[in-house]
């Protein structure tokens, strides 16, 4: 639907000299943020790891694959937990928004010893149909029939939902779906042992969304004020229309 964009305050108009002074002052804050982000990333890499002892078997375009197979010959694996449950007519729009970024990065990640894959609980036939519709090429497998999604706290049982709270993003909280988004990182040693090094959920996924990072640079920013939730404007990329702007109501 089309509506008027949310009103955004117009910045003060100044001379070039004043603009440059303000920009240089803000650059100091940006550089400090970059240093802090680098330090946070360093500390993240030093977090302890846990061995993955359970044997998970997925199904994908290559047939049955173990967790070790998903590394595809590399030592580091990033798994995006894509919200697509059994019987869903289509994948989560927000997960699809994130996944629109993956195909371009896989070749670059591969040359830094990293493999990217997506995992969903839907049967593989349902995954394949939706992936074909969206035109994606990244490796995507089904965890249907395994504990994988539950063990990494991105799928929730009926009992958990009925209790009013599920364990998501490291706390018990209400959640409006059987599935949740997340990202998990694994490392495989030369002896073949696999370790879980990191998982992130919710706003922790912002860093992988290139479109959001671009929107943060423009005057209106993400322009999500007044929406029902932050990603209420997002649609599957084949559903946008010319002049589209989500109705805040």
pLDDT digits (tens, 9 = 90+) for 103-131: 999 999 999 999 999 999 999 999 999 99
Q: Which domain holds residue 29?
A: 16-45
Q: Mark residue 63 as left, alpha or beta (left: phi above 0; alpha: psi -120 to 50; beta: remaining).
A: left
pLDDT value for 10: 84
CA–CA separation, 224 vs 242, rounded Å? 19
Q: What is the CATH number of the domain that holds 115?
A: 3.40.30.10
**Whether residues 143 and 72 fall in one domain:** yes
Summarize the confidence of residues 35-61 as an average pLDDT.
98
CA–CA separation, 60 vs 38, rounded Å? 36
pLDDT value for 4: 43
**Whether residues 102 and 148 fall in one domain:** yes
Which of 199, 215, 242 is the C-terminal boundary of a domain? Answer: 199
**Whether residues 59 and 181 fall in one domain:** yes
CA distances from 44 to 25, 118, 139, 237 (A): 29, 22, 26, 33
Which of 199, 216, 240 is the C-terminal boundary of a domain? Answer: 199
CA–CA separation, 124 vs 65, rounded Å? 12
Summarize the confidence of residues 38-53 as an average pLDDT.
98
* 205 domain residue, yes or no: no
**Whether residues 35 and 148 fall in one domain:** no
CA–CA separation, 18 vs 7, rounded Å? 25
User: What whole-number percentage of the chain has pLDDT above 70?
Assistant: 94
Radius of gyration of the chain (CA): 21
Residues whose CB is less than 8 angstroms from the CB of residue 148 and which lie 6 or more positions away in sequence, other chains included: 56, 58, 119
Classified as helix, coil or strand, 195 is strand
**Whether residues 62 and 117 fall in one domain:** yes
* 86 domain residue, yes or no: yes
Instruction: Give the pair of three-digit tokens for residue 242.
Output: 């010319």
Residues whose CB is less than 8 angstroms from the CB of residue 21 and which lie 6 or more positions away in sequence, other chains included: none
pLDDT digits (tens, 9 = 90+) for 169-196: 999 999 989 999 999 999 999 999 999 9
Which of 199, 215, 232 is the C-terminal boundary of a domain? Answer: 199
Average per-residue pLDDT in the chain? 94
**Whether residues 37 and 144 fall in one domain:** no
pLDDT value for 223: 92
pLDDT value for 9: 75
* 123 domain residue, yes or no: yes
- Residue whose entry in the numeric block shows the structure tokens 């970059």: 34
**Whether residues 76 and 41 fall in one domain:** no
**Whether residues 63 and 110 fall in one domain:** yes
**Whether residues 32 and 128 fall in one domain:** no
pLDDT value for 104: 96
pLDDT value for 111: 98
CA–CA separation, 156 vs 24, rounded Å? 48
- Asked whether the beta carbons of 153 and 167 are under 8 A apart, the reply is yes
Asked if pLDDT for residue 30 goes beyond 50, the answer is: yes
Starting from the edge strand earliest in sequence, which strands make up the sheet with 139-142, in order?
50-51, 194-201, 182-188, 76-81, 114-120, 139-142, 57-60, 63-66
pLDDT band at 243 (very low <50, low <70, confident <90, very high): confident
**Whether residues 36 and 60 fall in one domain:** no
CA–CA separation, 225 vs 202, rounded Å? 18
Asked if pLDDT for residue 168 goes beyond 60, the answer is: yes
* 246 domain residue, yes or no: no
In 91-153, alpha helices (H) = 93-99, 102-110, 124-134, 148-151
């Amino acid at each position: 639907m089309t509506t008027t964009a949310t009103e955004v305050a117009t910045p003060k108009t100044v001379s070039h000299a004043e603009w440059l002074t303000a920009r240089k002052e803000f650059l100091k804050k940006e550089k400090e943020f970059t240093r802090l982000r680098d330090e946070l990333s360093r500390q993240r890499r030093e977090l302890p790891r846990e061995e993955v002892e359970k044997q998970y078997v997925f199904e994908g375009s290559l047939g049955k694959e173990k967790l070790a197979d998903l590394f595809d010959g590399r030592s580091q694996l990033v798994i995006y937990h894509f919200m697509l449950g059994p019987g869903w007519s289509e994948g989560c729009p927000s997960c699809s928004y994130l996944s629109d970024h993956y195909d371009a990065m896989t070749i670059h990640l591969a040359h830094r010893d990293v493999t990217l894959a997506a995992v969903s609980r839907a049967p593989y036939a349902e995954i394949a149909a939706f992936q074909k519709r969206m035109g994606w090429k990244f490796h995507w497998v089904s965890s249907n029939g395994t504990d994988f999604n539950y063990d990494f706290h991105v799928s929730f049982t009926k009992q958990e939902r009925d209790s009013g709270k599920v364990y998501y993003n490291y706390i018990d909280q209400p959640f409006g779906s059987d599935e949740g988004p997340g990202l998990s990182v694994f490392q495989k040693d030369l002896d073949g042992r696999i370790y879980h090094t990191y998982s992130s959920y919710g706003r922790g996924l912002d860093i992988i969304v290139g479109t959001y990072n671009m929107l943060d640079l423009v005057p209106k920013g993400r322009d999500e004020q007044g929406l029902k939730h932050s990603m209420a404007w997002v649609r599957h990329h084949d559903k946008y229309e010319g002049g589209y702007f989500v109705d805040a109501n």
